[in-house]
Chains A and B, each alone.
Chain A
Amino acid sequence: NAGVMQNPRHLVRRRGQEARLRCSPMKGHSHVYWYRQLPEEGLKFMVYLQKENIIDESGMPKERFSAEFPKEGPSILRIQQVVRGDSAAYFCASSPRGRRSGYTFGSGTRLTVV
């Protein structure tokens, strides 16, 4: 069974460009979570999605950040007009219907803004 797949593993963007991070949940999982890890810090919750629904986006910055989990295809975290402070590791996790805790994380996308 494939785990949670994230791509790309590494992403370099210039200031002002857009970053699109993809997350394919484990097979059969319908809940997706995104977290951000800033240097020297623990992970911070960003958003919780189910298919075609945003359940909790309380951890998302108010501007430039958006997330979706369409009926078909991976979940996408989109950062518009990136700034240096967006440089971080972004982790995605998934869980099956009926269980929302102790979920499995992917290997992350490391975003570097230059």
Chain B
Amino acid sequence: AQSVTQLDSQVPVFEEAPVELRCNYSSSVSVYLFWYVQYPNQGLQLLLKYLSGSTLVKGINGFEAEFNKSQTSFHLRKPSVHISDTAEYFCAVSDGSNDYKLSFGAGTTVTVRA
């Protein structure tokens, strides 16, 4: 089974500043990678996903992530955050043989301040 490490549990950031959330996973022959966002008391919304192809993936709300196979990483970035980006962000991984079974990281709480 995959394991996922989100290196930062809390990330405070000022409005309009850039943010990067780090995610590393255990190695595998082939992986699918995802970032989800969870707003307070809500479900998880898919931000973006990497299945194959270009290693730079663009998602919703101005987020992007880069798949780095050699470093087994999938870091999420946004060049300029808004107050509304305050939420918890989860990195998730599945492998090619059981593509439906997601392994989640513990989450990173992003707090955007004015």
Residues of A participating in the B interface, judged by any CB pair closer than 8 Å? 4, 6, 31, 33, 35, 40-45, 48, 56, 58-59, 91, 95, 100-108
The answer for the CA separation of A42 and B102 in the assembled complex, in Å, is: 11
Beta-carbon contact of B100 and A91 below 8 Å:
no
B-side interface residues, number (CB < 8 Å): 25
Tell me which residues across on chain B come within 8 A of A56, comparing CB atoms: 98, 100-101
Tell me which residues across on chain A come within 8 A of B11, comparing CB atoms: none
Tell me which residues across on chain B come within 8 A of A58, comparing CB atoms: 101
Tell me which residues across on chain A come within 8 A of B94, comparing CB atoms: 101
> Shortest distance in angstroms between A17's beta carbon and chain B's nearest beta carbon?
24
Tell me which residues across on chain B come within 8 A of A95, comparing CB atoms: 100
Beta-carbon contact of B101 and A48 below 8 Å:
yes
Tell me which residues across on chain A come within 8 A of B106, comparing CB atoms: 40-42
Can you show 28 pairs from A to B with CB atoms below 8 A apart? A4-B43, A33-B100, A35-B102, A35-B104, A41-B106, A42-B4, A42-B92, A42-B105, A43-B90, A44-B104, A45-B103, A56-B98, A56-B101, A58-B101, A91-B43, A91-B44, A95-B100, A100-B99, A100-B100, A101-B49, A101-B94, A102-B34, A102-B46, A104-B46, A105-B43, A106-B43, A107-B41, A107-B42
Q: B102: which of A6, A41, A43, A107 is its contact (CB, 8 Å)?
A: A43
Nearest 10 CB-CB pairings of A with B: A42-B104, A100-B100, A107-B43, A105-B44, A105-B43, A102-B49, A43-B104, A101-B99, A42-B106, A45-B101
Q: Does B32 contact A (CB under 8 A)?
A: yes
Beta-carbon contact of A101 and B51 below 8 Å:
yes
Tell me which residues across on chain B come within 8 A of A91, comparing CB atoms: 43-44
Residue interface bits B19-49, CB-to-A below 8 A is 1, else 0: 0000000000000101010000111111001
